[in-house]
Amino acid sequence: MAAPILRIENISKRYGKKDVLQGASLEVNKGDLKILIGPSGAGKSTLLQCINFLVKPDEGRIWLDEQEVHYAHKRDLYAYRQKVGMIFQDFNLFDHLNALENVRIGMVKVKGMGKAEAGERAVMELERVGLGDHMQKYPAQLSGGQKQRVSIARALAMDPKVMLLDEPTSALDPELVGEVHAVIRDLGNNGMTMIMATHQIGFASSLASEIIFMEDGRILERGTPDKIFNHAENARTREFCSKITELYGER
Amino acid sequence: MEEWLYIQTEVYPALLKGFWVSIELIFPSAICGLVVGIMVGVLRVYGSRPVMAAANAYVAIFRGIPLVVQLFIWYFGLPYIGIYMSPFTAAVLGFSLCSGAYHSEYIRGALLSIKRGQMLAAQSLGFHKVQMIFSIILPQAIRLALPGCGNEIIYLIKYSSLAYMITCIELTGQGKILASNSFRYTEIFLIIGACYLVMTSVASYILGRVEDRLRLPGFEHRRI
């Protein structure tokens, strides 16, 4: 068994008196799709944001490709973040740039690629997520699903080793969820390593290599989709899963 | 006839000369003021604590002291510590620093209104702070600050008339000389007022065009 591509050990985060994360640990192998589920306030977002240090954890260590990330060293941190793509619930496209420029700017500014070369790559990534016809549009002219696909293309253009997806379809109209799921499914089939927080358990159970149930900043239970959704050991897990199945159905 | 001759031989050449001095004062002051304002605005939002405090102190001082007093200090005060400036240089310096203080406030407000998600997205791509500020945050903030900054530039056009107080004879200064020689205060200052009105109108037209050029699809203002 190969060493995990990403290893997270004992990550804790406290805001004032509230423990948002209490010692979360995770090992992710290449090609894994780990799904984080749990009620809001469980710490899913915080965990994802801690993984690329958008939130600085109070404790804990992270290894990528068996190299520990020393996030206090700015240069290490910026290099690491390039390798860990992040997808946000509310897309966070750069409002002053069109789709093509959104995808290109990271390659130009961070990787120092030439504009032409980066432009070609951006076109390729946008075509890959099915937006070849919308490259000149600004974020305000795109639908939610299109915006999220641009943001996925933007992350992919940086050649990440791991992608973190923070409820990528939660802000979308139900009709638009499918197009984003198709892109994510495609990524998974191509071997992308992903950690995703979501409430779409139908989608999760069909793709996930492991489901992780979190509550109150802790990982309560983890296992295959079948185990978590059908034979969960923890009563809280069972309760949450039955509630969310009722809501998001289609399992 | 005599009137016409007076206007042609005295008023027109003097005011034209003054007008060009005004233009020469306004352009560099507007540009320097804007650059200073952007830099100070950025430091007031993203600077370290001491830098932020220094930038805030700058704004407090240059926004809090009457501009005439500032000009007097630059031109009449600094020679006491061995720094001599031409009236023109002192005026441009005074205008730029005063204007910069006001611009920085508009820029600061605009920077603060950029959503945090924009920064998170930039950081997650591996941007460092300076790159993030200059290629993601400022291009958006400047668009938001433009109406305010334009206002400040219009204001600068008018307060450039204070330069004559430190013997930099621009439009108003020329007018004052003409008027005190001929005692035709009303006529001459009406003409001068009209000149400033033309300058500010042209400036506001140009600023409007700039706003149109920079306007992003999806951010058009709509009449309801």
CATH number of the domain enclosing A61: 3.40.50.300
Q: Do B217 and A137 touch (CB under 8 A)?
A: yes
Got the DSSP string for B93-109? HHHHHHHHHHHHHHHHH
For chain B, the residues whose C-beta falls within 8 A of a C-beta of chain A are: 115, 117-118, 120-128, 131, 135-136, 139-140, 143, 216-219
The answer to whether A86 touches A52, Cβ cutoff 8 Å, is yes
Q: Which residues in A lie closer than 8 A to residue B136 (C-beta atoms)?
A: 94, 105
Q: Is residue A136 one of the residues assigned to a domain?
A: no
For the CA atoms of B28, B34, B36, B40, the dihedral, rounded to the nearest 10 degrees, stands at 170
| Rg value, chain A, Cα | 18
Q: Is residue A128 one of the residues assigned to a domain?
A: no
For testing contact with chain B, the best of A56, A94, A105 (most B CBs within 10 A): A94
End-to-end alpha-carbon separation of chain B, Å? 55
Q: Is residue B121 one of the residues assigned to a domain?
A: yes
Q: Say how far apart CA B59 and CA B116 lie, in whole Å.
A: 25
Q: Is residue B63 one of the residues assigned to a domain?
A: yes
Q: Which residues between 223 and 242 in chain A have a beta carbon less than 8 angstroms from any beta carbon of chain B?
A: none
Q: Is residue B26 one of the residues assigned to a domain?
A: yes
Count of domains for chain A: 1
End-to-end alpha-carbon separation of chain A, Å? 32
Average pLDDT over residues A91-106: 96
Q: Is residue B132 one of the residues assigned to a domain?
A: yes
Give tens-digit pLDDT for A102-161: 999 999 999 999 999 999 999 999 999 999 999 999 999 999 999 999 999 999 999 999
Q: Which residues between 83 and 102 in chain A have a beta carbon less than 8 angstroms from any beta carbon of chain B?
A: 84-86, 88, 90-96
**Closest alpha carbon within chain B to A48:** B124
Q: Which of the 8 DSSP states describes residue A5?
A: S
Count of domains for chain B: 1
Instruction: Give which of A158, A83, A157 is closest to A124, Cα–Cα.
Output: A157
Q: Which of the 8 DSSP states describes residue B221?
A: -
Assembly ipTM: 0.92
Q: Do B217 and A85 touch (CB under 8 A)?
A: no
Instruction: Give which of B154, B170, B71 is closest to B106, Cα–Cα.
Output: B154
Q: Say how far apart CA A140 and CA A99 lie, in whole Å.
A: 10
CATH of the domain at B186: 1.10.3720.10
> Tens-digit pLDDT profile for chain B (224 aa)?
678 888 888 889 999 999 999 999 999 999 999 999 999 999 999 999 999 999 999 999 999 999 999 999 999 999 999 999 999 999 999 999 999 999 999 999 999 999 999 999 999 999 999 999 999 999 999 999 999 999 999 999 999 999 999 999 999 999 999 999 989 899 999 999 999 999 999 999 999 999 999 998 877 766 55
For testing contact with chain A, the best of B114, B115, B118, B125 (most A CBs within 10 A): B125
Give tens-digit pLDDT for A232-242: 889 999 999 88
Q: Is residue A98 one of the residues assigned to a domain?
A: no
Residue A251 has pLDDT above 50, yes or no: no
Q: Say how far apart CA B12 and CA B21 lie, in whole Å.
A: 14
Q: Is residue A63 one of the residues assigned to a domain?
A: yes
Min Cα–Cα distance to chain B from A168, Å: 14
For B124, the token pair is 């997650």
- Measured in degrees and rounded to the nearest 5, phi and psi for residue A117 equal -65, -45
Q: Is residue A215 one of the residues assigned to a domain?
A: yes
Which helix (H) or strand (E) segment holds residue B67: the answer is helix B67-72
Domain range enclosing A69: 6-93+164-248
Interface check for A201 against chain B (CB to CB < 8 A): the answer is no
Domain range enclosing B140: 2-214
Q: Say how far apart CA B85 and CA B93 lie, in whole Å.
A: 10
Helix extents (H) in A52-195: 74-83, 99-109, 115-128, 144-156, 174-189
